[in-house]
Amino acid sequence: MALIEVKVPDIGDFDEVTVIELMVKVGDTVKAEQSLITVESDKASMEIPSSMAGVVKELKVKLGDKVKEGSVVLMIEAAGAAASAAPAAASTPAPVQATVPAPASVAGPSSVASAGPVEVRVPDIGDFKDVAVIEVFVKAGDTVKVEQSLITVESDKASMEIPSSAAGVIKELKVKLGDVVNIGDLLAILQGAEGAPAVAAPAASVAAPAVAASSAAPIAVASAGAVPAHNPTAAVGAVLPHASPSVRKFARELGVPLEELKGSGPKGRITQDDVQSFTKAVMSGATQTKAQAANAPKAAAGGGEALGLLPWPKVDFTKFGAVERKDLSRIKKISGANLHRNWVLIPHVTNHDDCDITELEAFRVQMNKENEKSGVKVTMLAFMIKAAVAALKKFPEFNSSLDGDQLVLKQYFHIGFAADTPNGLVVPVIKDADKKGVAQISTEMGELAKKARDGKLGPADMSGACFTISSLGGIGGRYFTPIINAPEVAIMGVCKSQIEPKWDGKAFVPKLMLPLSLSWDHRVIDGAAAARFNAYFGQLMTDFRRILL
C-alpha cells in the first residue's frame, strides 16, 4: 500500500516553529484529526493533526526540529483507503489548522495619544470560539504597553496570548480566570498613557483580518508570528507553567497544579510524563501539592474533612469541669503535621523482637567506669547506632527512600535519633555514623541532645537521616509502634531492657533482654526482610564482635 506524506498545513503567520512534542510513534494507528505533534513559537503552541486516518510508518521530524507550512511530518499508510486515491490527499494536507488570528494591534498602533478610556477587545482569533481564559497576566492599576500580553486563552488544541491593542493604565479588567471569551468581547478598559500610542476604537483592535483561509476544522492557531517578543513573566512577576494545551487539559482533568511542576522538556516545558510522575508521587506520598501541605496542619489538628472523614468533634469541655487552654508549641505543631502525614500515607507494619545485651551492657558499664575521669559516657544508643549501620549495609533497601516508582538507595549512613525535649520531639542526626566510633557517637549524641533541649538545633542538625532510632529505654515500656520518619522507610523503636530467665539448654540463666520494635514501610520492605533485619540487629547487639565481620 502506498505511503502518504502528512505535511504541516497552512499555519498562517507562523514562520518557522519548533517541534516540542511528538504525540505518536511508528506503528501507531491514528485517526483523522488526531494530534501528531505540538509546535511552539515564543507566544503560542499548537497541535498539528493528521489529515487522514492510518498507520504511522515513518516519522520525518524529531524534537527540536523547525517546521513550517509544507514540512513533512510523517508517512502514513492510509486506513482502508484505496491506495490510488490516497496520494492526492497526501500532497494537499487537510487545511485543518489554517486560521491565523490577527493579534490585537497588527494594524499598527495608532499614533494618536489618548488620555481617555480605551476599550481592549478580543481580536479576530480565527476559528477560536468560546475559548477559556486560563491565565491573566495583569490586574487593575497595571501599566501596559502596546502588544503586552493580557491573558492567555485556550481551546482543546491550542493556546494563545491576547495582547493589548493600546498602551495605558488598566482601569478595569473585564475578564477573570475561567471566563469564556469570543471575538469582540471586552477585555479591559485602559486609561491611555500620556504620549503612548493608543488605539481608540475597538474596531482597531480587530482590524487585521485573518491571514489564511479558515477551514471548517475546529482547530485554531495562535498568533505567534505576528506578536512581538515579550516576556509575559515580567507582567505577572512569576514564572508561568510552560505546557502544551493537551498537557494543560490533562493536568486540569487530574487536578494537577501545573505551576508546582518542573518541566523536563525543552526549555523547561512540562510534558505529559511530568504530569503523570507528579501524580504518582503525590499518590505514593512522596510529595505533596501546596494545597495538601497547607491542609496538613489542619488535618494534624483533627480536621477530618481534609481526609474526607467526619469533622473532629467539637466539645464544650467546660460543661464537664474546669479547663485551661494552651497553645501547642511550634515543635509540636510541625512534628504533629509530619507524624500525621507519615502515619496516614505510609503502610506501616511493626515487628517486635528481643535481643540479649547482657555482655554488651557489662562491657559498656566497664568502659564507663574506666573512662570516668575522661567524662565520656558511652551509651547503649550509640552501640545501637553502630548496629543499625551494619544492618543497613547488609539490607540496603532499609537505607532507601521511595521516589515515585523508584527506590533511591543511599550510600551514606546518617542515623537520626528521637530526642524528647520540653517543647516536643525532635530528631537530630548523627552524620556518617559508619565512619565514627561508639565513643565519638556518644559524645555527638550528648551534644545534639543538649542542643535539642536548649532549642538550638538548626535544620542541618536534623536533616539527611537514612534511618531513625527512637529509644524509650531510659524511661520504660515493653514495645511500641514508632512512626516512620518519611522519607525514610524504617525506624527502630527500643524500650527498657530487663533481666529475664532464658533457657540455655541446661538451666534458666538471667539475661538482659532489650525489646526492639521495628516499623517498616510495606511498599518497600517485606515482612521476611524485616524479621531478618531485626534478627541480625539482635545478633550484633548480643555479640558486638560480629560487627567486624
Which residues contribute to the site for ligand CAO (CB under 6 A)? 379-381, 417-420, 425, 449, 470-474, 482, 494, 496-497, 514
- Which amino acid, residue 236? V
Judged by DSSP in three states, 44 sits in strand
Least CB distance from residue 187 to ligand CAO, whole Å? Answer: 57
Nearest CA to 367 among 346, 352, 383?
A: 383
Residue nearest to ligand CAO (CB): 473
Looking at beta carbons only, is 199 or 516 nearer to ligand CAO? 516
Rounded CA separation 491/489 (Å) = 7
- The answer to whether the beta carbons of residues 349 and 520 sit under 8 Å apart is yes
Looking at beta carbons only, is 121 or 364 nearer to ligand CAO? 364
Least CB distance from residue 444 to ligand CAO, whole Å? Answer: 12
Least CB distance from residue 173 to ligand CAO, whole Å? Answer: 52
Least CB distance from residue 335 to ligand CAO, whole Å? Answer: 9
Least CB distance from residue 174 to ligand CAO, whole Å? Answer: 56
Looking at beta carbons only, is 380 or 466 nearer to ligand CAO? 380
Looking at beta carbons only, is 73 or 449 nearer to ligand CAO? 449
Rounded CA separation 449/78 (Å) = 73
Do β-strands 467-471 and 415-417 pair in parallel, antiparallel, or remain unpaired?
A: parallel
Rounded CA separation 283/304 (Å) = 19
Q: Residue 173, CB half-sphere, CA atoms under 13 Å: how many?
A: 20
Looking at beta carbons only, is 95 or 446 nearer to ligand CAO? 446
Between the alpha carbon of residue 500 and those of residues 352, 355, 365, 478, 487, the distances in Å are 16, 11, 19, 13, 36
Which residue is catalytic, options 348, 352, 414, 522? 522
- Cell 523482637 belongs to 353
Looking at beta carbons only, is 482 or 487 nearer to ligand CAO? 482
Rounded CA separation 177/202 (Å) = 22
Least CB distance from residue 530 to ligand CAO, whole Å? Answer: 19
Give me the phi and psi of 204, to 5 degrees please: -60, -30
User: For this structure, is 340 an active site residue?
Assistant: no
Q: What angle do CA 440, 441, 446 make, to 5 degrees?
A: 100
Rounded CA separation 101/210 (Å) = 5
Least CB distance from residue 353 to ligand CAO, whole Å? Answer: 14
Rounded CA separation 491/350 (Å) = 9
Which residues, 6+ apart, have CB-to-CB distance to 426 below 8 Å? 331, 335, 418, 419, 452, 457, 462
Catalytic residue numbers, as ranges: 522
